[in-house]
Structures are given as structure tokens and as C-alpha cells.
Amino acid sequence: MNATQEATSTISRLPIDSPSLLNPLIDRIALAAPDTDQEGAFPEDAFRWMAEAGLLAITLPGHDLDFRSGQTARLLHLLKRIGSANLVVGRVYEGHINALYLIHLFATPDQRIRWYTDVIQHHRLFSVWNTQADNGVQIEGVNTPAGSTTYRLSGAKTFCSGAGWIQRPLITGELQTRDQQGEQRRGWQMTIVPTEQVSPIAQNNQFWQPLGMRASASLKLDFTGIEVSDADLLGQPNDYYRQPYFSGGAIRFAAVQLGGAEAMYTATRQFLTMLKRTDDLFQQTRLAEMAFLLESGNQWLEAAGNNTDRWLAEGADWTKIVAYANMTRTAIEEICLRVMPLAERCVGARGLLRPHPFERIHRDLTHYLRQPAPDATLVDIGKFVLTNPQPADELWR
């Protein structure tokens, strides 16, 4: 068996559509969530269970949600379910899936074999670390007399979720290099750092003193002094920003967020049942509102997944795919922001005390709802609908 066959032959054992198989894993992750709710912790056990269940490899060739087979709605459902168990696990898992998607889109065949093998055989975790503040990452190419190029990294990334627990972080930086013929290459370059093969990456733990999502360990990391090779660079400069993939990916974090709102709803029901308060009309109407908000979120995800697959297959205008993704993330943010106060009112002050899960989920969801450029996202939706003259009924067909 060659490396490609080996990397793609392990068909995932978990049919994720089967609640009888997925739900016990979700329950197990949810039960463990309070144990890692602190800075400096990371939900390692959850990722081991997910690896054993085949979830790290679920989108790879031949697996249940193979990216090539257009299964986005099912992927979003899975992300939502993981988010409902623990938003931290959902956040880190989404980063892993995002990195694998970028590999699917932009890697060479040799790179795919290498990185897919990392996932399947070694259960290595991937992530995407793009965010930076001042002193962002620079990638300088240095040609060697032997004809190869070494790439020297300098500068730092912020919000590196999973920090030291991620073995294959995909990071971005400003590339400046000349090839052996003297041709200049510049732009926003992706590189996947093989962490065990490079010098230690300096961590700034002080950066991560968050409201919520403590165990996501989204530290500031300094890559100065790290060296990578040509084989570690993914795609061409600026591929990272290729649309609709860049903005369209927002539907994945929206799915995880909706999972947080779903967890609020489930916990609220259980709490009211425990207190025998389910006959109260006010509680019933609040639960009703939460239920229809969640279901509208589910419908957004289903439509976003199916539309994305269909429009990509049809080669539709990418601005339409991005506009729909923007609407999905904005609508789901609104849904989550409405579900949280409804849950608070249902359970009252008593419910917001530990060991009840509300205050943790509330902190985690409040923090995780803060995603890049929410204002610009709304403006972009407005621009799209104003520059597309179709009647409202036909806009998204």
C-alpha cells in the first residue's frame, strides 16, 4: 500500500449522522468541560476521544465528510454539536477543520499525503493562526548555495488557540523572498509549522486573561527565530484571502456559536424541570422563544451549507456565497444574543451559580461571539443587496 492509499484508507468509524453514536461522545465532552475551565488548561481528553472516534480525519478523502463530496451542511451540524458540548473544544476543532480545508484547496499532492498522514496516523491537531497586532509575522526567504530556500520567521501572532497543544499550526505572514532566478515573491503567505522539528516557540501567557473560553489557550506566540522550508509553505502568496473561501468560512464558527446557544437551552430545560417550574406560563413562553430562535439558527446553517455546496459546484458569483455566509453569521450572532438573556431570566440568580453550567457557557459564548469585523460584515451584506437588483424572492435562488 503506498502512502496515498495509506493516508486515505482508514474510513472513519463514526457515522456522524447517527445520534446514538454521536450523542454519548457529546455528553462525555460536556461532562468534562468544567474540569478544564481555567487559564493554563486545555481539553486534551476531549481531543483524544474525538481522535479515537475518527473526528479529526472526518473531512479527509474517503471519510464521512470528505471535502470533495459537498457535505457542508452535515459538517456544520457536527461543529454545532461539538460546540454544544464545549465551546472551547468547538473553537479548536473548527480551527483544525479550517486548516484541513485550506490544505484541501491549496496543497500539492505530496503535502496532502504528509499532512493527512499527520492526522490519520499521529492524530496531530492543526489550527489557523492569522490574527496579529503590532509586530506581526514576517517571512524572509534566504537562498542557500545548494539551491534550496530557508524561510526565517520573525514577529508574533495573537489569539493562537490551542497554543502549545497544536502540533501543526497554519500561520500567516508577510513573505519577502527572491527565487534562485532573482524573481521577487511577496504577499500574505501560509506556512504550516512542524512544531517538533523547529526551535521552541516563545509563549506569552499574560496575553490570555479572558472573560471566557479560558481553556482555548489562545495565547500570543512569538515566532522569531523559527525556520521552515519550501515544503512547509502552503499555496501561493495571498491564496489565504481567496474568496469565497476566506469570508465564506464564517459559517463554521457560526455553527459552533449556535451550539453554545443550544447548550443554554438544554440546560435551561433541565433546570426548570428539576425545580418543577415547567407549568409556569412565563417560563413556557421564554422556552418557546428560545426554541424557535434555535430552530431558525438550524435553518440558517442548513441553507448556508447546501447553498455553499451548490453555488461552488455551479461556479456562482463568489460575492453571493460570501453575502450569504455574512448573513448567516450575523443572524446567528443575533440569535445567540437573544437566547442568553432568555436563559438568564428563566434560571434566575440561583441558576447562575456554579456548579450549574450557565455562567461558564454564558462567559464562553459572550467571548466567542466576538469575531472579526462584525460591522464591516453587515455593511458588505447591505452593499451586496443594493448592487443586485433582483427581487427579494429571487436573490438567493
- Residues in contact with ligand FAD by CB under 6 A are 91, 95, 127-131, 159-161, 213, 216, 218, 367-368, 370-375
Tell me whether residue 311 or residue 368 sits nearer to ligand FAD (CB atom): 368
Tell me whether residue 57 or residue 250 sits nearer to ligand FAD (CB atom): 250
Shortest separation between residue 99's beta carbon and ligand FAD, angstroms: 10
C-alpha cell at 186: 511577496
Backbone angles phi, psi at 395, to 5 degrees: -55, -40
Give the CA angle between residues 317, 254, 341 to the nearest 5°: 140
Tell me whether residue 119 or residue 166 sits nearer to ligand FAD (CB atom): 166
- Distance separating alpha carbons of residues 90 and 78, to the nearest angstrom: 9
Shortest separation between residue 377's beta carbon and ligand FAD, angstroms: 8
Tell me whether residue 63 or residue 157 sits nearer to ligand FAD (CB atom): 157
Shortest separation between residue 126's beta carbon and ligand FAD, angstroms: 11
Backbone angles phi, psi at 38, to 5 degrees: -155, 155
Give the CA angle between residues 109, 118, 62 to the nearest 5°: 60
Shortest separation between residue 213's beta carbon and ligand FAD, angstroms: 4
Query: Looking at the DSSP assignment, which residues form a beta bridge with residue 138?
Result: 154, 174
**DSSP-assigned letters across all residues of 224-289:** TT-EEEGGGEESSTTGGG-TTHHHHTHHHHHHHHHHHHHHHHHHHHHHHHHTT-TT-HHHHHHHHH
Shortest separation between residue 251's beta carbon and ligand FAD, angstroms: 14
Contacts of 252 (CB under 8 A, 6+ apart): 75, 76, 79, 94, 97, 98
Tell me whether residue 160 or residue 331 sits nearer to ligand FAD (CB atom): 160
Shortest separation between residue 57's beta carbon and ligand FAD, angstroms: 20
Tell me whether residue 70 or residue 165 sits nearer to ligand FAD (CB atom): 165
